[in-house]
Each structure stands twice: as structure tokens, then as C-alpha cells.
Amino acid sequence: MTQHFPTRDVYDWPSSSSVRGQQVETLQLRSGVTLIKTEFDRGQEGRFRYVEPDDVFGIGFHIKGGSRFDMDRCHFETHPLDVWAGTSPRSAPSSFTLSRHGFRTVSLRFDPEVIRELLQQYGQERGLIADMARHAREEVAIERLSTLDPGAVRLVESMFATTYTGAARTLFLESCALGLLASQIDTTAPGPRPQALAPEVRIGPKLQAAREHLDEHFADPPTIRTLARIVGTNEFTLKRGFKETFGVTIFGYVRQRCMELAVTELHGGRSVLETARSAGYACPRCFADAFRRHFGVLPSAVTRRVRAQIPAHRS
């Protein structure tokens, strides 16, 4: 299915879309496990609605941009490097708006019985994810999980960059999906049953303002002192609150955003030199070193892979 999504309208969420600047792919990895890959270029904002056809437990891994969700009259927002888990019973409505700054995410959707059986198979009957899955048929619930680390970022990016086709592609995507699930199980300590989604998941306004400022200026970020002054707090409170809320230091967040921009531009065909400048590096060698530390490969390896990429099979 191919369609454009003007921002003045609200559209039903498509299971598949492939037009310039807008990519949505839905792929069944195995019975009861579905993968959705979504990518919107910068400047494209979409407003959508969706009604769950079945009870579902899902996890979204957000690499680029963000979204605003309204699930059964409950609201929350996602941002780059966020991971969110949610449950929704059959027929529950939702609506959401994708960021004009661009959007790239991978979502895993499980039949509640399938995810419970998978967790039991590996002795993971306890913990937040298992507890949410047990109650997926009963209520809309949402929890923010651990921020994407560099290894998880590499997994998500490889899912967009793979050149495998046919059955090999499905197998590769499933292996990445299981790796992402494992990364969250590993960092999710056993805990009580999550509460139903509150009317709104809130982040302190000063921390929210700080992150938004960094999102707009990460290629030339302010000092922590300047950022604290901009949002109206002190350096110590800002550094501590940012780390506690977002799971990463301010410097780490800026570095992740720069690397996120870099890998997106390399996949889009830009040269290593152009990408280094966009990411705020005057020295290409320094950029290459930072990129390799973050992703485990040199940026030149990504550009070679992009040039060699063949059209991917779409199920």
C-alpha cells in the first residue's frame, strides 16, 4: 500500500507503506510475533489512529525522532533512544503523532500467550516484562524501559541496513529482535505488577526543556553551565536529574544523538566527511574513532555496505 500522510488529516495506521521519505513494514517473524519497522524522513509529520485487533504486548525501540501517544485517553511521549513496553486489550483505541524531526523505530508485538511461553522457556517468569505480559488482556499499561545502549542501537540499525532477502532476511530480523528483547530482560529487575497507565507520564519541565534544547543543538551543544542557565536550574541538579530520568549523562546523550545523526546520514548516502561535519566533528579521524567506539565499525564500512546494498525483499 502506498499513500502520503498530510498533517492536517488523521489516517488509519498502514500495515505497509513505501513512498519517498515514508517507510512502514510489518513482518510476521513467527506465529504470535510481529515486527514493525517505521522510518519517516525529517519534515514528515504523520497523525494516525489504530484499534487493536487482538490483545497485545509490545515493545518499541526508538532510534530517531519521537511521538505523542494517546492510548484509551491516556497520554505519553517517546524520544530518541527510549524503549517503551505496553499492553493493550483487543479493541482498545489509540492515536499518535510522529515527529516532524524524523522518526525511526522498531516495534515488537507479541500475542500475550506467546511472550509468556517464550519467557517461561528461558526461566524468566518473574520481572516487569513477564508481569506486564500476564495482564495484557486486562488493561492498557505502559512502562519506560532501559535506554538503548550502543549494542542495542547497532542491532536496530542493522535491521534497517540488512541486505538479506527472503527467508534469510526474516531469520536475521528475528535474531535481532530476540537480541533486543534479551537486552531489556537483562536490565529489568523483578518487580511488582505495573499500574494501569496514569493519565499522563510526566517528566519535569526543566529536564524536558534541557533534552529538547540538546535535540535541537546537539551538533554544537552548550556547556552544562549554559544549559542549566537556559532551563533555570543549577549544574548539579541538572546533571543528577538528567541521569536519573533518562538513564544517560548529558554528555552521553549528546554523543548518542550525534551518532544517531551520523549513521542515518551515512545510510542516506552522504560521505564520511560530510557526515562528520554534520555531527559536529571538525576532524574526520576523530569522528571515525568516535563512531567505531560507539558502533564497533568504521563509518567507511557503513558507506561501503550502503553502496553494495541490493533491493530488500518485502514480505
What is the CATH code of the structural domain delimited by 205-308? 1.10.10.60
CATH class belonging to 11-187: mainly beta
Question: Can you list the pairs that 73-77 forms with residues at least 24 positions away whose Cβ atoms lie under 8 Å?
Answer: 73/199, 74/140, 74/142, 74/197, 74/198, 74/199, 74/200, 75/199, 75/200, 75/201, 76/142, 76/197, 76/200, 76/201, 77/201
Confidence tier at 301 by pLDDT (50, 70, 90)? confident
| C-beta separation of 259 from 219 below 8 A | no
- pLDDT of 137 over the 80 cut: yes
Question: Can you say whether the dihedral through the CA atoms of 69, 74, 79, 84 is positive or negative?
Answer: negative
Q: What was the pLDDT predicted at 7?
A: 45
Q: Give start-end residues of each CATH 2.60.120.10 domain in the chain.
A: 11-187
Q: What was the pLDDT predicted at 42?
A: 64
Query: Which positions ≥6 away from 252 have C-beta within 8 Å?
Result: none
Query: Which positions ≥6 away from 273 have C-beta within 8 Å?
Result: 284
Q: Give start-end residues of each CATH 1.10.10.60 domain in the chain.
A: 205-308
pTM of the model: 0.62
| C-beta separation of 128 from 153 below 8 A | no
Tens digit of each residue's pLDDT (9 = 90 or more) over 63-75: 776 778 887 767 7
Tens digit of each residue's pLDDT (9 = 90 or more) over 214-223: 988 887 889 9
- pLDDT of 279 over the 70 cut: yes
- pLDDT of 272 over the 50 cut: yes
- pLDDT of 311 over the 50 cut: no
More confident call, 246 vs 191: 246
Q: What percent of the chain has pLDDT over 90?
A: 25
